[in-house]
Structure 1
Amino acid sequence: MADIFRGLNLLETLKESMESNKISDVRDAMEDLLISRINIAVVGDRGSAKATFINSLRGLSPEDEGAALSPCPTAPEELAVYPNPKHPDFRLWDLPPVPTASPFEPEGYMDRVKFLRYNAVFLVFTETPHPNSVAVFLEARSAQRETVYFALLALENDTEKSLEAKRKASMEVLKSEGVSLPKVYLVRPHTLEKCEFPTLLDDMARDLPELRANALLLALPTLTCSLVSQKRDAFKALVWAAASLSGGVSAIPVPLVASMVDSSVGVRILTKAQTSLCLDDDAVSRLARQRRKGPAALKALRSCTLSLEVTKGEVKRRLTAAEKELATTSSRLVEMAMPRHARSASRSFTAMLQALNAAIDEMAADAEKIVTAAFVEGN
């Protein structure tokens, strides 16, 4: 996935806020990164392929609690919402299929399902898109909504050759209906890491606002080592914001800020990292079941204590150890990262940055080992 912080240059924005004594902006940015919501809709016939796609986006199997079912128990004309059990700020919406009747008014369908309120929409199909679905796509584009994507969901008996034939036929439908520069992504619902779902994520990262792209990244299951790396970088930006608050307390006196930047902030960040990197026992067991691996073998790959459980005691221990090591820490890191007037507060900044970044690196390393064992070796 592309660098999700490229668009707004988050770190530069945070540094400018520190230079301008706008520490409340940094605090707000950190909260936005920790609690950034995203709503994604999936439009298409309610068959097994669509249900599997929705479940895979949430890291679930059909037998898991809260999984999308096939056949869908929701009435054909109603919406179904699927909150993520681990990420309540990420919601998937199963929208009714676009009617195939003629004449068709796309505006009426879009108003009924509140189409434009979703941050991104997947128009999914298993053969070729219906012209009425294309009409909805064009109407969305006319409303300046760029985050609408056609996804061809592979069936279990589809081969690479049959998928390419379906894609070619789908492209012809899009062209004939007036779509300029049409694009269709091939997606295997059971194995999102294959085919073109990673490419779709890249495009979404460019199209979505920064905070929405961040919310999507952190809520997705760890499908590839590349995703793990991007999650790690996102959490390091979050650590920078938290450390800046900690380091800026004495240089920029703001009432009650000190109480917010203690170890509890580190616990919040690392707990979210553990969940996002799918390191908790439930996530590893679920992955093992999906990939037909022994859960004990995957769990044994976690060498970082925080991968197993994030506790306030462990976070405090790491922060204390980082404080003791500051005598041998190069001040160059602080010179590069902190604004000049706040360098007198560099001690707490450096301690938090060093401790939490090291923890993020260790947890990400565990996640990469699990992904490699479950996905790469499995392939």
Structure 2
Amino acid sequence: MSNPVDERSAGEIKAALQSNNQALAFAKIKECLKKANNTPLNIAVTGESGSGKSSFVNGFRGVDDSEENAAPTGCVETTTQVTRYPHPSYPNVTLWDLPGIGTMKFPASQYLTHVGFEKYDFFIIISETRFRENDVLLAKEIGRMGKKFYFARSKVDNDLQAMKRSKKNVNEKEILDQIKRNCIQGLQNAGVASPKVFLVSRFDLHLYDFPLLQQTLEEELPQHKRDVLLFAMPNISLEVINKKKKVFQDQISVYALMSAGGAVVPIPGASVGLDLTLYVSVTIQYMAGFGLDDGSLKRLSASSGVPLANLKSVIASPLALAKITPALISKLLLACTSTAALLAAEEGFRFIPIIGTAVAATLSYKVTESALQTFLDMLAGDAQRVFKKALGVDSSV
């Protein structure tokens, strides 16, 4: 779990609160939240000309091929130079569309130097048929230089459709198993030990091996990069949504401690102001992570073909249908009788000598813990319903 506040930052926040510098405490909290979302992750996507690299880049980013910021796709080679494609919601995550090695007059070692090998966290090598000599040479060179690589066999949906047109009774699992076996056998014969091959379709990321690819990347990345990958991933399954929720859930105690620290400041309204700033920042993170912000929903509508209004129709939380502001958060908190009572008690206890601040800090911790858990539950539920709606699944089932 990536902690949004390191020990040094926690000390700075505490010192600011103790010196009654509310503005500095707010600024430090915002800085911590921003820093937690800025760990870089650079993914290189390569392969031979026409293998589907650009489509994969778009699918991974949740972007439709027709969008303005999409990687250009086509029947001919469309990538002639290293091209950077930041994630639309997490700009610290970048997919790099590399020219096909078969289109450049470089040996594999020189190709890697040319494309800036050192900046990538891992490589995904894509082929639409079988992996060829250039793919193997590139994989061996990447491995020799100490980095991870994965093989993605693209457009498997096209293979299945072709088989269905030529045969009446088609066992999809058998066909997919055969495609994977052939890919693995070919790579092993060419000298690649234990190749990791994943069957993918740009238009059906929730099918085939893309979820397994996501799981494998998550397991093999360094700890501080895992959550970065998870939140940049499109919601390809309910399991991914639940994983995101778990990471957010594990961070709530840190935010609650921040809130408790602010409760000791003997200035009317200071604790409430600090908490509202915190709630707004964290809730916006939840929205982005679950793909419920307006930009993410529009991209999902474009890629899934489900009208935006239909996706929004299953959203139950007021948080996901309005701009997140202190006023909205305050309204939701005060609508809950028990939370409103705790807030009033916290404000009163802070001005009681000796024991008052300790009680206020405890109450503030409980209010923040409860509020963020409630908001998280709301938005995770919305994300699950939107995911099912995008797939055409009845959410009531």
Shorter-chain TM-score tier: 0.7 to 0.9
Q: Post-superposition shift, 1:205?
A: 0.8
Q: State the alpha-carbon separation in 2 of the partners of residues 73 and 325 from structure 1.
A: 65
Structure 2 spans left out of the alignment, 5+ residues: 15-27, 161-171, 346-357
- Equivalent residue number for residue 128 of structure 2: 126
Instruction: Determine the C-alpha separation between the residues in 1 that align with 2:392 and 2:12.
Output: 44
Q: Could you say which residue in structure 2 is the equivalent of 1:185?
A: 198
Aligned to 1:351: 367
2:379 is the alignment partner of 1:363 = yes
CA distance in 2, matches of 1:370, 1:164: 31
Q: RMSD of aligned C-alpha atoms? A: 3.6
Aligned residues: 351
1:78/1:363 CA distance change after superposition, 3 Å: same
8 Å contact from structure 1 (residues 86, 275) kept in 2: yes
For residues 216 and 332 of structure 2, the distance between their equivalents in structure 1, rounded to whole angstroms, comes to 38
Listed as ranges, the matches of 1:50-129 within 5 Å are 50-71=53-74, 76-99=79-102, 105-129=107-131
Letter in 1 for 2:124: F
| Higher relative contact order (CA closer than 8 Å, sequence separation 6+) | 1
Q: In structure 1, what is the Cα distance between the partners aligned to 2:272 and 2:317?
A: 28
Partners of 1:51 and 1:165 in 2: CA distance: 26
Report the CA distance shift for 1:144/1:289 in structure 2 as closer, same or farther (over 3 A).
closer
Q: Cα distance, 1:38 vs. partner?
A: 1.7
Aligned to 2:214: 201
Residue 140 of structure 2 corresponds to which residue in structure 1? 138
Following superposition, the deviation at residue 52 of structure 1 comes to 2.1
Q: Which one is further off, 75-84 or 149-158?
A: 75-84
Q: Which amino acid aligns with 1:170?
A: C
**1:2-43 deviations in whole A, cap 9, x for unaligned?**
xxx3xxxx56x97x959x975669967654433333221110
Matches of 1:143 and 1:259 in 2, distance apart? Answer: 53
Which residue in 2 is equivalent to 1:311? 325
Structure 2 CA distance, aligned partners of 1:290 and 1:375? 11
Identity of aligned residues (%): 26
Displacement, 1:73? 9.8
Distance, in Å, in 2 between the alignment partners of 1:308 and 1:162 is 44
Give the match's secondary structure for 1:275: helix
Residue identity in the other structure for 2:285: K
Structure 2 CA distance, aligned partners of 1:152 and 1:48?
Answer: 9
Cα deviation, 1:210-265, whole Å, max 9, x if unaligned, reads 3322112112222221111111122223333222222235679xxxx979953223
Q: Is the 8 A contact 1:106 1:136 kept in 2?
A: yes
2:24 equivalent in structure 1: none
- For 2:151, the equivalent position in structure 1 comes to 150
CA contact (8 A) 2:48 2:102 kept: no
Deviation at 1:343, TM superposition (A): 8.5
TM superposition score normalised by structure 2: 0.76
Residue matched to 1:166? 179
Q: Which amino acid aligns with 1:196?
A: D
- Deviation, structure 1 residue 354: 1.2
Q: Which residue identity is paired with 2:289? A: S
Q: Measure the CA separation in 2 of the matches of 1:114 and 1:273.
A: 34
The offset of 1:162, in angstroms, is: 4.9
CA–CA distance in structure 2, aligned partners of residues 141 and 312 of structure 1: 50
SS in structure 1 opposite 2:236? Answer: coil
Q: 1:61 to 1:77 in 2, by over 3 A?
A: closer
What TM-score results when the alignment is normalised by the length of structure 1? 0.79
Contact 1:116 1:145 in 2 (8 A): no
Q: Is the 8 A contact 1:318 1:355 kept in 2?
A: no
